[in-house]
Amino acid sequence: MKKIYFLLVGLLSVQVLILSNLGFTAWPEMFSFPYLLNHGYLIYKDFHHTYQPLLTLVLSVVYRIFGYELLTLKIFTWFLILISDILIFVVSVKLLGKKLIALLPLSIFVFLGLLFEGNMLWFDLATVPLLLSSIYFLFSWINSKRKKHLFWSGFFLALCFLTKQQSVLFVPGYAVVFWLKKGKFKDIVYFGLGGVLPISLVFLSFLSLGIFKDYLFWTFYFPLYHLPKIPGYAILPTSKQLLILGILLFPTVLPFLKKPK
């Protein structure tokens, strides 16, 4: 048992060591959006913001406490990465049942993050720990059938959506799980309540500020109808990128090649 956690801490330490010696990409939006928010500008109304508000809101609080420093952004980013690492390990243990084997998915994640320039903060990275938390509670419900686990699964999935709207594409996957595990209507209600709570709070705050229409325009209408018309916005993957994607996704196909247990 102690050896497993020793290996886990060692793997995370090596990752931090490598990250601290790699070039860090600091996207301007990770500073400018929170800065404007902290200086009285209304998000979506006074400046464009084509993503959901949660990451910008969190960063505005972080910068207010620790200042607008590159080191602040680095530490916050590495904190998200390490939380994601730990959650990958925890979810893998729940799925695979063995802590030693659970280190393999984590090792792959660490390797791919370093290989594909993962030393940066963007909205996609911020969704990872939230989605993993939702998945953890979803599988906790499968094992225990406790309704509170469904509530928290829906809650974290909603936070994932409030970080980046494309997270709504995960919902069909959850629907398949409910169908396979014969979830009842009450189960869906508990899951929905967890999701409605944070989303309702955000929507109500936007309504009170008079920016709800601006929010809908920048996060849904603009990305769906205006961005695709901009030359060079949609770039098809190269043959090399398709090959890498195929290699990465191939293991997920293997379980479907066998008779499900």
pLDDT tens digit string along 99-126? 788 888 888 888 888 777 789 999 999 9
**Percent of the chain at pLDDT above 70?**
96
Tens digit of each residue's pLDDT (9 = 90 or more) over 149-204: 999 999 999 999 999 999 999 999 999 888 888 888 899 999 999 999 999 999 99
**Arithmetic mean of pLDDT over the chain:** 89
The more confidently predicted of residues 248 and 87 is 87
* DSSP, residue by residue, 154-199: HHHHHHHHTT-GGGGGGHHHHHHHHHHTT--HHHHHHHHHHHHHHH
Can you tell me the distance from the alpha carbon of 66 to that of 75, in angstroms, rounded to the nearest whole number? 11
pLDDT of residue 254 exceeding 70, the answer is no
pLDDT at 25: 92
Residue 93 has pLDDT above 80, yes or no: yes
**End-to-end Cα spacing for the chain:** 28
Q: Which runs of consecutive H residues, i.e. helices, occur in the chain? A: 2-21, 29-38, 54-66, 70-96, 99-115, 123-144, 147-161, 171-180, 185-209, 212-216, 239-253
For 197-231, write each residue's pLDDT tens digit.
999 999 999 999 999 999 999 999 998 888 878 87
- pTM here is 0.89
Q: Report the pLDDT averaged over residues 22-39.
A: 94
Look at residues 1, 208, 222 and name the one whose alpha carbon lies nearest to residue 102. Answer: 1
Q: Does 72 have pLDDT greater than 80?
A: yes
The reported pLDDT for the residue numbered 258 is 61
Residue from 85, 78, 62 nearest 20 by CA? 78
Q: In the structure, what pLDDT confidence band is assigned to residue 97 with cuts at 50, 70 and 90?
A: confident
Per-residue confidence (pLDDT) for residue 260, from 0 to 100: 53
